[in-house]
Amino acid sequence: MYIIYFMKSNDSKFVSVYRSAFSVVTTEDAQKQDIAFWQSKSPLERLAALESLRQTIYGYDPAVTRLQRIFEVIKRK
């Protein structure tokens, strides 16, 4: 295991980073790893992740949103 030490510019203390905590890969390898990861998940887990992303992107929170309580009466001809 390798440990990399960085010195903060505004401080004389060292910050350690464990090299085994991350890896450097090419874009092609990262895409292959992503595909393998998602193929290992069940369709239900994939849909749950997709729904989570949708809620994050569009700001939807089912616990907060409610149905509108305003009714409009219209007359039909």
pTM above 0.75, yes or no: no
Residue 70 pLDDT: 73
- The band of 1, judged by pLDDT with boundaries at 50, 70 and 90, is very low
Is the pLDDT higher at 9 or at 69?
69
The CA distance from 2 to 21, in Å, is: 10
Residues 6+ apart with CB under 8 A from 60: 54
The CA distance from 56 to 74, in Å, is: 37
Residue 72 pLDDT: 75
Residue 39 pLDDT: 96
- Sign for the CA dihedral angle at 47, 53, 54, 60 comes to positive
Is the pLDDT higher at 13 or at 70?
70
Q: Using the predicted structure, report yes or no on whether residue 25 has a pLDDT greater than 60.
A: yes
